[in-house]
């Protein structure tokens, strides 16, 4: 009987320790997702100023401005990791088109306000990329922990479901496959 109680106590102790570990890992990826949200909010707040700066020089490019505005609205409505990942990919594409339009206007590129906004956007994009890497690392660690033996036997019963990574959108994947070419001649 004592041996049975010891075995049960060890199992309960192991279950509690595993549960606490999984809770900590789940909180880590949720915090990482919240960190991405902060960076995305900064990006969303910057976009109207950037659009207005370009509008002053390229008012006839209304289709580009509408796409950026629509993509921003979709990105702001997204709530899950998958939704945000897809919406932010669309927004990145729309911003790329906006920057391409800006390239056609030398006066705009020389405008100090536009250059400052462009630098801020570049900084935010770098922070988003770093936050995305951190989130994906936290998600991988969490997903690995719930799939390892023996946690796999009771992680699902305790409400630990796999988390989704913040993935590259189709345009970003295409860039990885076909990187931009640089030519000096």
Residues 156-185: tens digit of each pLDDT: 888 999 999 988 665 555 544 454 443 434
What was the pLDDT predicted at 169?
Answer: 60
Q: Region 24-46: what's the mean pLDDT?
A: 94
- All structural domains of the chain with their residue ranges: 2-167
pLDDT tens for 130-155 read 999 999 999 999 999 999 988 888 88
pLDDT band at 87 (very low <50, low <70, confident <90, very high): very high
Q: Looking at 78-154, list the stretches that DSSP marks H as alpha helix, in order from N- to C-terminal side.
A: 81-103, 106-110, 112-147
Quick one: fold of 2-167? Answer: de novo design (two linked rop proteins) (1.20.1440)
HSE-up of residue 151 (Cα within 13 Å, Cβ side)? 20
Instruction: Please tell me the predicted confidence (pLDDT) of residue 185.
Output: 42
Could you tell me the end-to-end alpha-carbon distance of the chain, in angstroms, rounded to an integer? Answer: 85
């Amino acid at each position: 009987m004592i041996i049975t109680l010891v075995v049960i106590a060890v199992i309960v102790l192991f279950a509690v320790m595993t549960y606490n570990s999984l809770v900590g890992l789940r909180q880590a990826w949720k915090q990482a997702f919240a960190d991405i949200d902060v960076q995305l909010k900064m990006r969303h707040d910057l976009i109207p100023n950037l659009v207005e700066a370009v509008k002053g020089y390229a008012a006839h490019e209304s289709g580009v401005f509408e796409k950026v505005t629509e993509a921003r609205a979709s990105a702001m409505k997204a709530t899950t990791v998958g939704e945000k990942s897809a919406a932010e990919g669309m927004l990145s594409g729309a911003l790329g088109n906006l920057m391409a339009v800006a390239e056609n206007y030398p006066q705009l590129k020389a405008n100090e306000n536009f250059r400052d906004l462009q630098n801020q956007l570049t900084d935010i994009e770098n922070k988003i990329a770093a936050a995305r890497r951190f989130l994906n690392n936290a998600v991988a660690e969490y997903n690995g922990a719930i799939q390892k033996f023996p946690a796999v036997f009771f992680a699902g019963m305790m409400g630990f479901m796999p988390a989704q990574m913040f993935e590259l959108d189709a345009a970003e994947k295409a860039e990885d496959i076909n990187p931009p070419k640089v030519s000096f001649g």
